[in-house]
A and B are shown apart, each in its own frame.
Chain A
């Protein structure tokens, strides 16, 4: 598309003015064209219209394997109505809900216009959530949360059941809303990293990277290749660690105790490896605009290699046991199924989408730099059940571990220069995507006339996948909910911001 420059397949950056504002009718047509030509919707959101206080810009972002990102924009006056795209393209549903909640535009004909996170004037009104109601003598409702049994984040789940069977699950979030995007607008564009790292604190690297590569593209910085490799190592360590957390959780929930303890302690090995490199088990302050704060010193490289080689031996044993155990198969197979067609229709992304047969992975489709020379194999499963989601995670752990070992092969150390100062140009925009462990992390920044942050959008894959969980538990016994939930492993704070 004309306008922004494609600096890599995962980033689009340049002058905001270069993106044309389409009339609604052209926008609508262009959206249809994009989708017909096999593009996929990555994001749709509202941002302020520069130079017009009363205007709101509606942005739609698309992608296609090997051809990067494209953006369409149209504008509306505040409070305007527009024909909802959701009835025709259901994957718009969460985006239109969010737009409605954030800026008050009304997508008429939207079947399900409920709050996403109770932000703005909805704050504190958690009790007003308009639950779907199922009527009938045999129907009963079960509500759980916001506070759950374990040490996890809050969210409310309400099940409408016939007997044991879940007819519909309604997921009511927002409890974690802490005003992140608003605070970002009050800070200097080049100094957002610490906050961004906490957008979803278990996805520190992916969010930080999305932010960094966006700014770097705007500033037209080119990074030394070592920086990319270190970032790749960071991202894949994060993926391995969180996949292990999920597998440990699923194992515990189905009382497969060797899995619970072994995956759990193997995760410690991995996050301690991250800590060994960057000082933090959650990779905080590792990536920064312009580079990384921590390369990998010589003694650390050899420690990392040793840990990962031992890790490969240990994980193979437990994976074998997990994949061959009757208990595990019995509890996970054919449970919590999201068929490929449903996953596509509602716009699921990432690991959960791949488990439902959707071939998508930014590391593979767009080959961002560290993955270009050393490609990964796509992990896809077709059955869309809890089992498939675990298998995808198991395969990705193996692939990522091997990727890191290959990247470190024959390397004695990776030293990276301290990041240069990054100056952020005025009146510019970036769009940026990184494949985090849950799926695509999307960031958008628009700066004003003084280079200040006018709009920052953070989109964690959870925003789109929560509805997938609701679909997964349909017709399952309610007792299957915990394993379905764990197998999706979604972020509450990443949704609530």
Chain B
């Protein structure tokens, strides 16, 4: 008993008190595109980007593809691309995941509809379809003692029957097509889809693979996109909070 108490005591307070205002030291998060002019004709960043996330003409980075690998910033001769430890990067539309010098931050519009239904309690069913266990572990982490999202009423459930939101990770493999459909069909209305990680949002590094079938997402467009490879738990938690217009 004493030992148990000792462990409990050593544990202290572990939760991040305010997930909207944390400071993840060292985290390579939201890329910033600076105002400096690129060198004439330079395409280096786009050439090395493994996910074709950069549009050099408009100088935009698509966070739906970006894996935050920093290859681009390493070849840039003028330091146009740098990273901040900003973790709020989720978006409610695919387009607004593109960041540029002018539009530096993806936007989430509070969904009035989802807020009125799920504002106080949201049950999530996660389906990994080709994920590498990065996104899966970070999703699981939002429920651990540090991030502890159950304080906001967010919870993962075992059965699709109990779920409101379907959280998809991985690039959507052919071999998971049927199981994914079944899980979604098994969820009662009202329901919605959340795409977590570059693979789910755009195919990421696997976008050109012959082993994917992403048609599910054409039929059921996500209401929330959470970028990263894998996304930080803070990115996920804040995405959910912001979508539902919650203060945290």
Contact = CB atoms under 8 A, between A and B. Distances in A.
Nearest to A145: B179
Interface stretch (B36-44, B56-64, B204-212): B204-212
A317 B7 contact: yes
A284 B69 contact: yes
A178 B173 contact: yes
B27 A279 contact: yes
A275 B176 contact: no
A229 to B, nearest CB: 19
Interface stretch (A90-98, A148-156, A378-386): A148-156
B158 A178 contact: no
Contact of B205 (A119, A151, A194, A275): A194
A178 B179 contact: no
B211 A201 contact: no
A176 B211 CA distance: 10
A294 to B, nearest CB: 9
Given A261-B145, A317-B7, A151 B134 contact: no
A282 B27 contact: no
A496 B3 CA distance: 43
Interface stretch (B97-105, B109-117, B122-130): B122-130
B132 A198 contact: yes
B140 interface: yes
Given A175-B175, A178-B212, A281 B133 contact: no
B10 interface: yes
A264 B6 CA distance: 17
Contact of B27 (A178, A275, A496): A275
Nearest to A174: B175
B94 interface: no
A320 B127 CA distance: 36
**Most-contacted residue by chain A among B48, B137, B143 (CB, 10 A):** B137
A123 B177 CA distance: 11
B138 interface: yes
Interface in A181-205: 182-183, 186, 191, 194-195, 198-202, 204
Given A124-B177, A150-B158, A175-B173, A183 B208 contact: yes
A176 B24 CA distance: 31
A260 to B, nearest CB: 9
B170 interface: yes
Contact of A176 (B8, B25, B130, B143): B130
A191 B50 CA distance: 8
**Most-contacted residue by chain B among A201, A245, A278 (CB, 10 A):** A201
Interface in B67-85: 67-71, 74, 83
B141 interface: yes
A258 interface: yes
B229 A284 contact: yes
B175 A202 contact: no
A55 interface: no
A108 to B, nearest CB: 28
Contacts of B179: 146-147, 154, 175
B11 interface: yes
A178 B70 contact: no
A176 B175 contact: yes
Contacts, number: 194
Interface residues of B, number: 65
Contacts of A126: 175, 178
B26 A258 contact: no
A320 B3 CA distance: 9
Nearest to B24: A275
B175 to A, nearest CB: 5
Contact of B206 (A152, A178, A314): A178
A278 B230 CA distance: 14
B217 interface: no
B133 A202 contact: yes
B141 A268 contact: yes
A263 to B, nearest CB: 10
A284 B48 CA distance: 16
A262 interface: yes
A253 to B, nearest CB: 14
Interface in A161-176: 174-176
A493 interface: yes
A279 B73 CA distance: 14
B136 interface: yes
Interface in A268-307: 268, 272, 275-282, 284-285, 293, 300
A222 B209 CA distance: 35
Contacts of A195: 50, 205
Interface string A197-221: 0111110100000000000000000
A485 to B, nearest CB: 14
B29 to A, nearest CB: 9
A146 B132 CA distance: 15
A282 B134 contact: yes
Given A146-B179, A153-B131, A198-B132, 4 more contacts: A176-B173, A182-B211, A265-B144, A284-B229
30 contacts: A151-B128, A151-B156, A153-B136, A176-B128, A176-B176, A177-B174, A178-B173, A178-B209, A179-B206, A179-B209, A180-B206, A182-B210, A194-B71, A194-B205, A200-B133, A201-B132, A201-B137, A202-B132, A202-B134, A258-B4, A261-B145, A264-B145, A268-B144, A272-B24, A276-B26, A279-B26, A282-B137, A284-B68, A317-B6, A318-B7
